[in-house]
């Protein structure tokens, strides 16, 4: 048998005293550099559930699910599909709705641990029932518009509900559009139809 060289012998003795160079992951959590780009995470306060990231995500990891019966939107994410590209954070509407973390290990025996969901109430068109967006999204737009919010009839009424200044039942009991329908929360399509009716049909 070939005898070990002195250097190799030295290395072996050092390893016996100091332990192995490799980490003990997954037995012990790995030390990760703060700059390491891992999985992204939704931020409860920063995300307005607009659904923009679902449009941009190249692997369809993020889905926007509108549960009409329950009146809510769920932003759903399945980590198993995520390629950690960072597009969702880069193009997030608010810039703070989803953040890349340095979390890289999603190994689990329960596949539900790889799902993430956040939700919010939906806002519907009061004429046709179509989904407009979420309450958080409406509030975010209104905050950015400031006083200009009140130049848009839908926002004017939406904020009026909050302040108890508008009647939710106004105009509910007749078909088609009437003059008082200006004071309703309408989707862009119904708002356009109402304006055309006013201008062209009198």
Burial of 19 (0-12, 13-18, 19+ CB in 10 A): exposed
How many residues of this chain bind ligand SF4 (CB under 6 A)? Answer: 27
Q: Give, as ranges, the residues between 71 and 100 that touch ligand SF4 (CB under 6 A).
A: 75, 82-88, 92-94, 97-98
Region from 27-35, 45-53, 108-116, 194-202 binding ligand SF4, contact rule CB under 6 A: 45-53
Phi-psi sector, 103: left (phi>0), alpha (psi -120 to 50), beta: beta
- Is residue 50 near ligand SF4 by the rule CB under 6 A? yes
Does 132 contact ligand SF4 by CB under 6 A? no
Read off φ and ψ for residue 113, nearest 5 degrees.
-70, -10
Which window, 7-15, 46-54, 123-131, 155-163, contacts ligand SF4 (CB under 6 A)?
A: 46-54
Judged by CB under 6 A, does residue 138 bind ligand SF4?
no
Distance in Å, CB of 185 to ligand SF4, minimum: 21
- Strand ranges (DSSP E) for 62-190? 62-67, 72-78, 98-100, 115-124, 131-134
Work out whether 59 is an interface residue with ligand SF4 (CB under 6 A). yes
CB 178 within 8 Å of CB 171? yes
**Distance (Å, rounded) from C-alpha 100 to C-alpha 108?**
20
Q: Torsion angle of alpha carbons 163, 165, 167, 170, nearest 10°?
A: -140
- Which of 16, 32, 62, 151 contacts ligand SF4 by CB under 6 A? 62
Report the residue from 48, 138, 157, 185 that binds ligand SF4 according to the rule CB under 6 A: 48
Span near ligand SF4 by CB under 6 A; candidates 11-19, 27-35, 57-65, 181-189: 57-65
Contact 182, 152 (CB under 8 A): no
CA-based R_g, the chain, Å: 27
- Per CB under 6 A, residues contacting ligand SF4 are 40, 42, 47-53, 57-59, 61-62, 75, 82-88, 92-94, 97-98
């Amino acid at each position: 048998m070939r005898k070990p060289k002195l250097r190799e012998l030295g290395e072996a003795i050092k390893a016996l005293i100091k332990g192995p160079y490799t980490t003990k992951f997954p037995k012990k959590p790995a030390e990760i550099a703060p700059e390491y780009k891992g999985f992204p995470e939704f931020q409860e306060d920063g995300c307005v559930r607009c659904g923009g990231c679902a449009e941009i995500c190249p692997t369809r990891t993020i889905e926007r699910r509108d549960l009409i019966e329950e009146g809510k939107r769920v932003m759903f994410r399945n980590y198993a599909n995520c390629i950690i590209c960072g597009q969702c954070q880069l193009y997030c509407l608010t810039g703070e709705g989803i953040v890349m973390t340095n979390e890289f290990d999603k190994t689990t025996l329960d596949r539900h641990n790889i799902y993430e969901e956040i939700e919010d109430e939906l806002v519907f068109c009061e004429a046709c029932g179509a989904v407009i967006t979420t309450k958080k999204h409406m509030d975010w737009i209104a905050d950015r518009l400031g006083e200009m919010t009140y130049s848009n009839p839908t926002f004017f009424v939406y904020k009026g509900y909050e302040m108890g200044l508008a009647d939710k039942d106004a105009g509910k009991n007749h078909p088609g559009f009437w003059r008082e329908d200006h004071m309703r929360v309408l989707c862009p399509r119904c708002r356009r139809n109402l304006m055309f009716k006013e201008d062209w049909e009198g």
